[in-house]
Structure 1
Amino acid sequence: MIEPIKKLSYDELFCLHTINTLIIQNDDINVTLKKILNLLSEIAGLKRGIISVYYKELEEIHHEILGFDDSEDEVKFSPGEGITGEVVRTGKPIAIPRLNQSPIFLDKTGIRRNLNREELAFICVPIQYCNATIGALSVDREVLSSENGDLSHEIFYLSNIANLISESVNRKILVSENINLKSLLNIPGKISTIIGNSRPMRELAHQISLIANSNVSVLITGETGTGKEMVAKEIHKLSHRSDKPFITINCGAIPEGLIESELFGHKKGSFTGAITDRIGKFQAADGGTIFLDEIGELPQILQVKLLRALQEREITKVGDNQNIKVDVRVIAATNRNLEEELAKGTFRSDLYYRLNVFQLFLPPLRERGADILLLSDFFIRKYSSQMEKVITRLDTSAIDMLTIYHWPGNVRELENCIERACLLTQDGVISAHNLPPSLQMKSVENRGKKRGKFESLVRAYEIELITDALKDAQGNQTAAADYLGTTKRVIQYKISQYSIDYKRFSNTGKK
């Protein structure tokens, strides 16, 4: 519920308008949020403002943006700790009419040590984005002894401000996590091909470190495109078999009549076309690792022979009766639910349990949060190098599109999107229009959800286009109009309409 406009003072309305303008026109998130806290203090009398950010993966709340300077460093909370922690945990605002009456107020910043808490009210409201609490906005307000302690107006007003800044705070979380994730790529000893720091990926990396140097069979499950082969390669690389072969075979890509020969080899003349002796994948992988991709596609008659190879550590070539000992670690992968296949009788239970000594699950990309941006940066570096292009960043519109999309094709689809964008961009920046049209499609569960009024969306898009053009034109309105294929008069009208400060771009070059 939004506070009716008739109940807001002129100063409060002016403050809301100014905050909205700051959010639209400024690129630096930290500077913008700091200015907003200063505005609350100077215009609305809401002092010592703090924007606290909830890092869900760490289960920590950090005081990120402060409306004052003299505070303790590295202030952190756990969800439920103190007033701020409780607001984040419950997603509900808390107001304390007089701070001296609140035993749970912690004042971790230490800025109120020399203040009379009897004359201070404290208001803290949740910052929510897409129905999830991502932080909290808190302020102090001086109170008179005659006041009755009703802070409902301040709660509603501060909640409106929290709604305005929620997208900026969410973007700050993504940027902060992305910076931290990038640093992991340069730490010696880290798993190098598993890119990500979301909780599921950290758990996966820990599990890989536990099993890599053993000989146990591993079954990797997950949707298509999640990177099952990359995980198998990482296990091999970290094992004592790393200097031996890593052999891959896709059980679903080879005709049923040839799969046995591919796995175990054949003798000359054993079937039409067998003109020479040939070793199979198991023998080629001797001493190393064999990766059986799409194991759920393996015909039942071959399942029996694979089971024997796993149990006896020996194989028999097609057309031969001599057993060959092999020392091979087996890693299998599937995007099927093999337990359902067991129930239907299409996959042997004894083979399943032999393969499934240790199971690794790869989460879909849509559940990996900020990993999307880290992977995007990785692919940008990869393809900009291959194409010999200088590509510096993703712009805001591209970041929003990448993080909102549901990624049915997972990491493979993301890589294809970034490769395409690297090919199309001409200015070293990947924008939304460089990404495939498919990214503009919503997932089934998100269809029909409101995204805002049409006028607001058009306004935001026009501001983005004009701002980007002014950046490229270094503030020159005539040149910006040429970039956009319109007239200077239209640009001047829009600049005035949206209060865009074109002069601040006069000393900037192309980014």
Structure 2
Amino acid sequence: MSIDNTLPASGDAARERVADRELVTIYEISKILTAPLDFHTGARQLLAVLTAHLGMRHGLIALVQGDGRLHVFGATGAVFAGSPAVLDADQGLFGQVLKSNSPVVVPDIAREPLFVGQDRQGRDGVALLAVPIRDGRRAIGLLSVDRPPEDNRPVRYERDVRILTLVANLLGQSWRLHRKIAEEREAHRQETRRLKTQLKGRYRVDNVVGMSKRMQEVLADVHQAAPGHATVLLRGESGTGKEAIAHAIHYLSPRAKSPFVKVNCAALPETLLESELFGHEKGAFTGATSERKGRFELAEGGTLFLDEIGDITPTFQAKLLRVLQEHEFERVGGNKTLKADFRLVAATNRNLEEMVQKGEFRADLYFRLNVVTLFLPALRERKDDIPLLVEHFLARFNKDNDRAVALEAEAMDLLLHCNWPGNVRELQNCIERAATMTRSDHIRADDLRCFKGQCFSSMLLNAEQNRCTPGGSFLAPPHPAGQPSAPPTFPIAMPPRHHPAAPKNGDDRDDGEFPPAGDGGIAGIPEREQLVAAMEKCGWVQAKAARLLNLTPRQIGYALKKHRIPVKRL
């Protein structure tokens, strides 16, 4: 049923019903235009709402594109459904709307000379209303609907024109937003292509994503060390990609056609680890029903990767030392000496130098492992690689799940401001979680946990840093890149922590690293009274308080914990 625009002045109740229906219509349309839909889908749903709520029979939404012609983005009804997808923007009624930049009302289409032939068929007494869609003051398209006759009563169209003008304004704002997002996405794609072009001629490894200066230094060292036979020790935080680098060393070496065998030393107790590496003879222990080759034998001619080597016990360290020195060993329960030709690549996230000083790691094994040492940077030290990593993880997710999920610019900006204590592994999990849970094909900022204050990785980072010796960490090389270092003396001191240059403005602040509760204030973080006042003003909604104080939701969440402020549930 359509709106009765001929109500008498005394029909207050009827006018209220009409106003309520119009308000509901605008509300439903605003929900459609703010939903994460493509513009074509939103336009079609909008016309369906106008038809259902306001009784407008036919509808058309068209926008002027780069070729200067009107492109139809949505159409409903028997008349417009068969219209061509591209219309002339200079001729007819639609051209008149665009040129005048004002609404046009045709009370009876059958009597309008601008409509001929099929345009008039079945439309006796039907009115047509067309309003411009504007970008600022300029008409960029139009919204057109049909109004069927109202029981032979005279109809005033002022109310319809006002409603359609409001809807057209919402359409114009939505189109600007979609166009901005598309432009940002295209700029991101071009930047990614530019970065990939820059990679040509640089050091590259197929299974490693990274073009930042720090990663290029690592990949240069990988290409330099891979052709040799020396033992390689990979150092870095958990999740920095040590296993991927180990694979790269193997496949860039002359041993690439031979096996790559890996063992996680932290995943097995000492007795099982010994059997796993050395193998065992039949009857060596309960359950040893047959002879079994160990990983040293299986890696014959290839590469053996020992991950988390800093977690092996002192007893097993002595057994491992002989194998690394002589490449000779005996199976568990056997007395025959076997030889194996393998290249060792080891990895650890532990501070071996500190362990040597405490007597927890053998010094001779340390020097045997510390031949070629590669330090892998944490993700927070190579944030230039985050866009490439995100694209890589999304491409893998889309391929595995047959989807086409993309990341919006605001979400990317949020990712670039995180510290990522879990490094590349944490970023991968974050992208996979957001892509899985988003209800559209776009990952927005509010799809990420840190936007909602539900990510506590910055506190994990601080806890990890507090476990280290003050002023030092084994994760960074002892001297800046390009500067020679003097040979270490024993006992070995921990290399100093790498400190990146301090940010010069608030936009580049490292928003996850704050002092623990009880420390003095820090620039940009509000004092307790200011924070409580902001939270009270915003109804204890952390995202609103963050915008009020020009902070990120992560910072607000940490500041609340720093000052031990309980969050009120209103």
Deviation at 1:395, TM superposition (A): 1.1
Task: Determine if contact 2:199/2:211 at 8 Å carries over to the other structure.
Answer: no
| Whole-angstrom distance in 2 between the partners of 1:415 and 1:399 | 13
How has the CA–CA distance of structure 1 residues 343 and 174 changed in structure 2, closer, same or farther, with 3 Å as cutoff?
Answer: farther
Select which of 407, 410, 425 maps to 1:397: 410
1:292-441 equivalence runs, <5 A: 292-391=306-405, 393-437=406-450, 438-439=454-455
- Is 1:264 equivalent to 2:278 in the alignment? yes
Task: Determine if contact 1:296/1:338 at 8 Å carries over to the other structure.
Answer: yes
Deviations 1:266-287 (A, max 9, x none): 0011112211111111111110
| Whole-angstrom distance in 1 between the partners of 2:202 and 2:419 | 33
Task: Determine if contact 1:185/1:192 at 8 Å carries over to the other structure.
Answer: no
**Alignment match, 2:222:** 208
Deviations 1:291-343 (A, max 9, x none): 00000111111111211111111221011111111100000000001011110
Deviation at 1:253, TM superposition (A): 0.5
Deviations 1:24-68 (A, max 9, x none): xxxxxxxxxxxxxxxxxxxxxxxxxxxxxxxxxxxxxxxxxxxxx
**Alignment match, 1:450:** 524
Q: SS of the counterpart of 2:321?
A: helix
Deviation at 1:439, TM superposition (A): 4.3
| Whole-angstrom distance in 1 between the partners of 2:202 and 2:220 | 16
Q: SS of the counterpart of 1:444?
A: coil
Q: SS of the counterpart of 1:445?
A: coil
| Whole-angstrom distance in 1 between the partners of 2:547 and 2:357 | 52
Instruction: Letter of the 2:282 partner, please give it.
Output: K
**Alignment match, 1:244:** 258
Deviation at 1:430, TM superposition (A): 1.3
Deviations 1:349-406 (A, max 9, x none): 1111111100000111011021111111110101111010012x32122112101111
**Alignment match, 1:181:** 195
- Is 1:193 equivalent to 2:207 in the alignment? yes
**Alignment match, 2:165:** none
How has the CA–CA distance of structure 1 residues 436 and 419 changed in structure 2, closer, same or farther, with 3 Å as cutoff?
Answer: same
Instruction: Letter of the 1:424 partner, please give it.
Output: M
User: TM (normalized to structure 2)?
Assistant: 0.47
Percent identity, please: 45
| Whole-angstrom distance in 1 between the partners of 2:385 and 2:428 | 13
Instruction: Letter of the 2:419 partner, please give it.
Output: H
**Alignment match, 1:58:** none
How has the CA–CA distance of structure 1 residues 202 and 216 changed in structure 2, closer, same or farther, with 3 Å as cutoff?
Answer: same
Q: SS of the counterpart of 1:340?
A: helix
Greater Cα radius of gyration, structure 1 or 2: 2
Task: Determine if contact 2:434/2:443 at 8 Å carries over to the other structure.
Answer: yes
Instruction: Letter of the 1:396 partner, please give it.
Output: A
| Whole-angstrom distance in 1 between the partners of 2:250 and 2:228 | 10
**Alignment match, 2:291:** 277
Task: Determine if contact 2:204/2:219 at 8 Å carries over to the other structure.
Answer: no
1:45-194 equivalence runs, <5 A: 178-183=192-197, 190-194=204-208
| Whole-angstrom distance in 1 between the partners of 2:190 and 2:216 | 17
| Whole-angstrom distance in 2 between the partners of 1:410 and 1:189 | 22
Q: SS of the counterpart of 1:292?
A: strand
How has the CA–CA distance of structure 1 residues 347 and 258 changed in structure 2, closer, same or farther, with 3 Å as cutoff?
Answer: same
Task: Determine if contact 1:260/1:318 at 8 Å carries over to the other structure.
Answer: yes
Instruction: Letter of the 1:397 partner, please give it.
Output: E
| Whole-angstrom distance in 1 between the partners of 2:200 and 2:213 | 20
Task: Determine if contact 1:248/1:292 at 8 Å carries over to the other structure.
Answer: yes
| Whole-angstrom distance in 1 between the partners of 2:372 and 2:423 | 23
Q: SS of the counterpart of 2:224?
A: helix
Instruction: Letter of the 2:367 partner, please give it.
Output: Y
Deviation at 1:459, TM superposition (A): 11
| Whole-angstrom distance in 2 between the partners of 1:217 and 1:365 | 25
| Whole-angstrom distance in 2 between the partners of 1:396 and 1:459 | 22
| Count of residues in correspondence between the two structures | 291
Deviations 1:457-492 (A, max 9, x none): 859989xxxxxxxxxxxxxxxxxxxxxxxxxxxxxx
Deviations 1:103-151 (A, max 9, x none): xxxxxxxxxxxxxxxxxxxxxxxxxxxxxxxxxxxxxxxxxxxxxxxxx
| Whole-angstrom distance in 1 between the partners of 2:411 and 2:399 | 20
| Whole-angstrom distance in 2 between the partners of 1:349 and 1:226 | 26
Instruction: Letter of the 2:291 partner, please give it.
Output: D
Instruction: Letter of the 1:407 partner, please give it.
Output: W
**Alignment match, 2:244:** 230
| Whole-angstrom distance in 2 between the partners of 1:443 and 1:189 | 31
Task: Determine if contact 1:405/1:439 at 8 Å carries over to the other structure.
Answer: no
How has the CA–CA distance of structure 1 residues 381 and 174 changed in structure 2, closer, same or farther, with 3 Å as cutoff?
Answer: closer
Deviations 1:193-228 (A, max 9, x none): 221111110100100010101100000000011110
Deviation at 1:183, TM superposition (A): 3.7
Task: Determine if contact 1:390/1:428 at 8 Å carries over to the other structure.
Answer: yes
| Whole-angstrom distance in 1 between the partners of 2:395 and 2:330 | 46
1:470-481 equivalence runs, <5 A: none
Give 5+ residue unaligned stretches, structure 1: 1-170, 463-511
| Whole-angstrom distance in 2 between the partners of 1:389 and 1:187 | 33
Instruction: Letter of the 2:513 partner, please give it.
Output: V
